Structure 1
Amino acid sequence: MKTLVQSIRLTLVLTALLCVIYPVFISFASKMAKGKGNGETITVNGKVVGYALLGQKFDKPQYFWSRPSAVGYNAAGSAGSNKGPSNPDYLKEVSNRIDTLLKYNPGIKRSDIPADMVTASGSGLDPDISPAGAIIQINRIAAVRKLDEQKVAALVKEHTEKPMFGPAKVNVLKLNVALDELK
């Protein structure tokens, strides 16, 4: 009987702590963060065009392309493909992505394509690409938009984030918004 009472007390204490106190604390803490707990939104002319930390599909030739997504950029179904590097279906997907990049970006070689441009991230919602992934797209975008390549390259450099830890990255949404603002 003593053990049963202790178990019930522990259950009630943990329920109060983990189901009430902790969520309320996190909710209040998030209100002090950037975006007030709603995420960092990107707005253009007063209209929200996306979230900075959520990958979106960009596949038109006049834009920098996003990293592929195994879940179709659906935040409700965040996941990787779970296909191993020897899976024939996965290898075919990657090969098709490489072929598409080569088709739309003439002048680049297969060896120039960074892995992040043909493989999905673990969440399938990565908003960033590597600087190399952006650089291989500069010629295409400059040609389609009839812009100077140096201007587009400068934009990529300006939007390359170099965190204290980890590799440099480029947020695709922010870069494409800035690209649309170029005259």
Structure 2
Amino acid sequence: MGVLATSLRTSLLIMLVCGLLYSLTMTGIAQLIFPKQANGSLIHNADGVVIGSELIGQSFVDPAFFQGRVSSIEYKAEGSGTPNYAPSNSDMLDRVKQSIADWSANNPDVPVSELPIDLISNSGSGLDPDISPEAALAQVPRISQLTGIDQQQITALVDEHTKPRELGFLGEPTVNVLMLNIALQQLQAK
């Protein structure tokens, strides 16, 4: 009976330390050191309403805004992931063909040969909030035409929102689509 009681006490102590104390400590440290990140990197509008997160892509259906990557899960964060289709899969080929057709219809000034691949391919999570600077710049003529804002102003906006490689050599330069569209909306309001 003594071994059973000792085992139960030890198990309870380990559950409290590892399950509760450790979790509360890490959450407290994260809230102190990185409060914005610990709370999801949320973005609020002028009224304080949450309009998105810097970490999760959104669908922008208005062609006057920058479009992000294709999402096979319709940007639903509760089920991130993507089907692992082979290049020969008919569903994937149909989706890519449709993406190219949509691009051509919405961007007649930019030939398909200059279409950045990240505008017709989805990320592994289906929630990628970023596109390449080339993908953003390819959309400038359409957005300029639809908004009446000079292409140079929109290009400057893309340049301002381009994040360089981490530490100067890790990864690729990226542009956060939500942050860019918020800046575009502010530019339109002027």
Q: Is the 8 A contact 1:52 1:173 kept in 2?
A: yes
From 60, 63, 73, the equivalent of 1:61 is 63
How many angstroms does 1:131 deviate by?
0.5
Aligned counterpart, 2:73 = 71
RMSD, aligned α-carbons: 2.3
What amino acid maps onto 1:43 in structure 2? H
Determine the C-alpha separation between the residues in 1 that align with 2:8 and 2:86.
45
Q: Between Structure 1 and Structure 2, how many residues are aligned?
A: 183
Identity of aligned residues (%): 38
> Which aligned pairs between 1:3-152 and structure 2 lie closer than 5 A?
12=12, 14-32=14-32, 33-35=34-36, 37-46=38-47, 47-152=49-154
The CA deviation at 1:121 is: 0.9
Matched residues in 1 for 2:161 and 2:43: separation?
14
Q: Which has the higher helix share?
A: 2
2:63 is paired with a residue of what secondary structure? coil
Moved over 3 A (4+): 3-18
Cα deviation, residue 38, structure 1:
1.4
Displacement of 1:52: 1.0
5+ residue gaps, structure 2, are: none
Q: Residue by residue, what CA displacement relative to the aligned partner does 1:12-68 show, whole Å, maximum 9, x if unpaired?
A: 565344422332222112212141621222222123221111111112111000111
Tell which deviates more after alignment, 63-72 or 101-110: 101-110
TM-score relative to the length of structure 2: 0.86
Q: Aligned pair in 2 of structure 1 residues 18, 119: CA closer, same or farther (>3 Å)?
A: farther
In 1, Cα distance between equivalents of 2:85 and 2:15: 38
Q: Over residues 104-130 of structure 1, what are the superposed CA-to-partner deviations in whole Å (9 max), with x where a residue is unaligned?
A: 011222221122111111111111111
Taking the aligned partners of 1:166 and 1:18, their CA distance within structure 2 comes to 35
* Aligned partner of residue 35 in structure 1, secondary structure: helix
Q: TM-score, normalised by structure 1?
A: 0.89
Q: What is the rounded CA distance, in whole Å, between the counterparts of 1:102 and 1:56 in structure 2? A: 22
| CA gap 1:14/1:85 in 2 versus in 1, 3 angstroms | farther
For 1:20, give the aligned amino acid: L
